[in-house]
Structure formats: C-alpha cells, structure tokens
C-alpha cells in the first residue's frame, strides 16, 4: 500500500480478534481493551456493544469531544452536552429531507442525532455555532467524506 499525501501521518489502527465464542470480539485500541458482540437473539453472547452501536458511539464521542474543545477554547458557558444517536436503514425513495437525488435507488443508512446542551448562559448564536461544529468532528468527516476500505490477506 502506497499513499502519497501530507495527510498520511494521520493514521490510526486497532487490533481485532475473534475465536469460536459467538460472537465476542476482542478489540485493542491504543492500549484500551474492550469487547464487541451481538445480542443473544442473533447468536451472540451479549458481552459488549454491537458493531453498529460502536460506530454510533464513535460518532457521538467525537461530536461531544469536538464541541467541548470548541466551547472551552471560546470560553463559552457550556456545562454539558448529551447526544442521542440512532441508525436506520431505509429505501432511498422513502428518505425525506435526506438531500438525495430524486432518482436515488437502493437503501440508505440514516444516522440521526439529537443534541442536548446544558448551560444557562448560552446565547442563540452560541447554540447555532455549536450545532454547526457537531458536523465538523473527525469521525463525522470520515463517514461523510470519500472513504475507501481496502482489504488484503496477511501472510502467516
């Protein structure tokens, strides 16, 4: 794999392992260990969050951290942020207000989130800017930008 870019230094990696236990998946990310799994009704052991929930968690955590950093830099009176995220798979033709072309076909993953802010002294202008900042976190950009997923079989 060759990447010629100034951005190639911005690389992150995790290690994933799964054995025969359905479907407990051990994840190691920069020294932090956790488990992903599927619920029992899907054949899993329900030892951890599902992969889709981990994706939503990554997005939500990134949004919260980005907003917190921004508010702190600005010295704004943001006491806290709480996010509720969901993922729904819908037909493109049923995706109202999604910004898709009229002739879009197939299914579309829709990620929705609600933002709850606490801070009595937040102005309407601050709140509007915070809502704009929620769309600028790195994970949001990964999801929305052009993303390439490549796979190769490692030699053993």
Q: Each residue of 31-54: pLDDT tens digit?
A: 999 999 999 999 999 999 999 999
User: What's the pLDDT score for residue 8?
Assistant: 58
pTM of the model: 0.86
Rounded distance, CA 78 to CA 67, Å?
9
- Residue 122 exposed, middle or buried by CB count within 10 Å (0-12, 13-18, 19+): middle
Average pLDDT over residues 11-30: 91
Does 145 sit behind a cis peptide bond, omega within 30 degrees of 0 on the bond before it? no
pLDDT at position 6 over 70:
no
Average pLDDT, the chain: 91
């Amino acid at each position: 794999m060759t990447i010629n870019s100034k951005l190639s230094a911005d690389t992150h990696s995790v290690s994933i392992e799964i054995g025969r236990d359905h479907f407990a998946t051990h994840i190691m990310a920069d020294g932090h260990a956790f488990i992903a799994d599927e619920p029992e009704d899907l054949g899993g052991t329900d030892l951890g969050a599902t992969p889709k929930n981990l994706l939503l968690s990554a997005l939500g955590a990134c949004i919260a951290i980005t907003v917190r950093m921004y508010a702190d830099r600005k010295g704004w009176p943001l006491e806290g942020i709480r996010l509720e995220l969901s993922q729904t798979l819908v037909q493109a033709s049923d995706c109202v207000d999604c910004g898709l072309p009229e002739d879009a076909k197939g299914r579309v993953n829709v990620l929705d989130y609600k933002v709850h802010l606490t801070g009595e002294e937040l102005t309407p202008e601050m709140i509007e800017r915070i809502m704009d900042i929620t769309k600028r976190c790195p994970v949001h950009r990964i999801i929305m930008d052009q993303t390439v997923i490549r796979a190769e079989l490692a030699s053993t």
